A and B are shown apart, each in its own frame.
Chain A
């Protein structure tokens, strides 16, 4: 008999279409993050729709005002960082290490700029998290997102250092350390698009 897959030991794992454990980890993490953001959005929409329709006829309620155009600039910066992140990954897939480093560095700088602008925005808004439900939900949502950008920057910094040291290669398993932060970074970007549209625009 030629079949010996299951003789006296566990079968040899056929990994060609199985989900890599590290990728599975980031999928589960992102799923939990979606739920976390979902709870913050629920609180935000609850404050906006259910509580006091008369007071909240205009949004943001008087006397709050949000810097829509500054946030738009931040949105453009973060969107651009997704492009540079993608460029970094495409570069290493083509064995272009310089492109990988440049892409990661640009992504890191754009993400840092985003955070600096947001911090600056916070100092000039004129209201605090304790100012009504609007203040709490606004700072809750944007702060939660800002925290994720900060975590993403840490991951990018780590990937950047490893890229400079030449730890990555063109084979898929050789650049998983960039792929996973890339997935996370794009997720953070998608979340910002949702936050910006719902909080600042609509």
Chain B
């Protein structure tokens, strides 16, 4: 949900929106009376509410200039699926030529904890998953580094692009229907923001667990 007072610029836009809304309410009130003004206000308030609930689809791409490296650099973004078999196979296959691999696990947090800047629990969980993933990659012969990223996966990518400067991206998600990232159009947003080869790996943890069990 948009916060109309997130920054001074957004608060200023909200002043303009409020002025327009109440201008319409005042005109309706002057023409038809107070109850019609109330009705107009309610309709417009619902409209503003719907607008505030909608998230901006594409945000500005990071200011970042990419240079190719001697040793290819692969940035992997995955959260709960970071220890998935499908992702591990994809990384092993792509890093066959000795590419440098950085696995980033965004510390996904609940909105309330995020607002309270209480991210220790989220980072602990992300840390556990990341360790398991790095161990599995090491066992498969891939020397990868790991980092816990920002709770916002797009921000996590942006942070890593500044420090790691990857040549390609691998994004791992749950299957459609179970993935919040896919629901939010995360892959499309990243593709729009970054001029890099981007591989999307779908990891079905339940199917992998069932396969192992049975």
Contacts and interface: CB of A to CB of B under 8 A. Distances in A.
Nearest to A6: B127
Contacts of B114: 18-19
A186 B15 contact: yes
Contacts of B152: 16-17
B150 A14 contact: yes
A188 B5 CA distance: 12
Interface in A179-202: 179, 182-183, 186-187, 189-190, 193-194, 196-197, 201-202
Nearest to B153: A17
A148 interface: no
Nearest to A11: B123
A74 interface: no
Interface stretch (B25-33, B65-73, B86-94, B187-195): B25-33
Given A82-B15, A202-B25, A1 B34 contact: no
Contacts of B147: 3, 5
Interface string A1-25: 1110110001101101111010010
Interface in A108-140: none
A34 to B, nearest CB: 10
A89 interface: yes
Interface stretch (B6-14, B165-173, B202-210): B6-14
Contacts of A85: 8, 12
A194 B7 contact: no
A36 B102 CA distance: 50
A194 B18 CA distance: 8
Given A16-B159, A82-B15, A186 B150 contact: no
Interface string B41-70: 000000000000000000000000000000
A30 interface: yes
A171 interface: no
A165 to B, nearest CB: 21
A27 interface: yes
A33 to B, nearest CB: 10
Contact of B159 (A14, A26, A189): A14
B74 interface: no
Contact of A17 (B124, B146, B151): B151
A26 B5 contact: yes
Contacts of A18: 114, 117, 119, 151
B11 A194 contact: no
Contacts of A145: none
A135 B158 CA distance: 56
B22 A183 contact: no
Most buried by B among A2, A85, A189: A2
Contacts of B135: 1
A202 B37 contact: yes
Contacts of A202: 25-26, 29-30, 34, 37
Contacts of B146: 2-3
Nearest to A180: B8
Nearest to B149: A14
Contacts of A194: 18, 22
B115 A24 contact: yes
Contacts of B134: 1-3
A6 B131 CA distance: 11
19 contacts: A1-B135, A2-B146, A3-B127, A10-B120, A13-B119, A14-B107, A18-B119, A79-B19, A89-B9, A182-B11, A182-B12, A183-B11, A186-B11, A186-B14, A194-B18, A197-B25, A201-B26, A201-B30, A202-B37
Given A18-B114, A19-B114, 10 more contacts: A3-B130, A14-B119, A17-B151, A82-B12, A83-B12, A182-B12, A183-B7, A186-B5, A193-B19, A197-B26
